[in-house]
Structure 1
């Protein structure tokens, strides 16, 4: 039996022994078996909007926090547990360590798509969120806070832990003292388990529940998808026909050039163009496809370089139903 993974977040630099008076305690979370940390991001001093309620009427209520912000995503391979079964032991551990649960929600109750994209998360596929099956929790303890996002795909469970402390903190998952470093982002990737279908759109959807639709040639500033054949969309349609019980969300993304409102509108229109292609060219039932746009709110690369901006200008498909087949 695999030993459960232990995640230790030290809220202050220094000894991992009992804290001195006035020092914050560490946060010690035991993750499920078969888990592995797949992505991490940290900054010694940054801001984080802690969600305090569901997304409603175009707004997500948050509490602005400042301090050492650390995020880590975990993948639990072969987990047959529900999102509630994944969340409950973590919630109990936080309560046992003196955290007060200030907000908790599930899927549509949270605000569904809008909540997910208004909440800072590590990118797909390391942190996968099924828009139809996720749970979220915010908790506080004195001058620190933790949020948990829990979701799953057909093949694995996913947990993101975000910790905000008032002073520079140790690196996630270690107990050794750390030297403060300039703000930076480090993403650790590991190979995804083979699904026996190679690196295809279907295999990526099965492994992580989301995939970038490659080869879509939108002219600059335009939402019109030029006439022609698009291999990624043809593969998408074939997969949906082979899985008639599934539904998906097509999500448009832009780089950070220009204003937010205009970018959200453009990204939504491009997603809608993809949706119409699947409906008109392949006869996919319109009720199975939703189209949304998030503008530049979910980058997968830096907007400081042209290469990064090109990666951020993309359309993704996300599975919003479970289960799915290869």
Structure 2
């Protein structure tokens, strides 16, 4: 990628300063407006940004804007009856806006992306080129997508990328690729004309498989007590173990404290501590693992928190009692849990 050199502006206000650090700070402050102007003109990449690992850039393009979300939902276009419809997908979302080099045509840029995605194993969900997109009314359906995206900085250029759906030379592609962790989705909108001296603008969204990391919120004693009275049991996701291990992690302490508080407040209460796993791996191994995890919780409650061992019975049931489907990682995360069950 060719980056135009930014000439150093004059810095009269720095004259006479003795300290090297002061001179450096002054130089950076004076250069900032020119640097920002270069970004706004898409002459250099947006500071701090980089290409997404799934989809890179058209050769010679400049990264104008970027934004990432650990877990979010985005709307891409799918097909129903041959026509575009909105499809909501969830995952780790990467938003990128690029500006192509001068001389690149919108159709050339679009077909390069589509060819690269095909070679990378993506199958199209919906795709159209130029007049076919006009006929399907595709671009108006994309006009809000950049405005809904998460960016590191607000930008009128990004918000109006597809304007009201009337930008010239518009093409669109959405595709999916299955992998061991789930489905990755890609959505690409290409438009010519408009800002940046008519250079081709590229809006790319990638949604990779991601899950909610459970166990970051403890269930307090009042909620545990209410759950036990209401349902006779309470699922606790704040009791944490590393994968395939039965050693309690340090971040389980807060949840164990609340469990102990419930038991201390009701001296007559006796409970099963039940370990659950997802369906990954052999059932026998999961049964053993879930039993050892339940025993680790009992040992902690009795040894560290002073709960009489006779009030606690550990049981491991592997994946015999799921609370969600095991065919996706979010469901499996919900199934990996420890429960208190009234005896």
TM-score w.r.t. length of structure 2: 0.35
Larger Rg: 2
TM-score w.r.t. length of structure 1: 0.37
More helix by share: 2
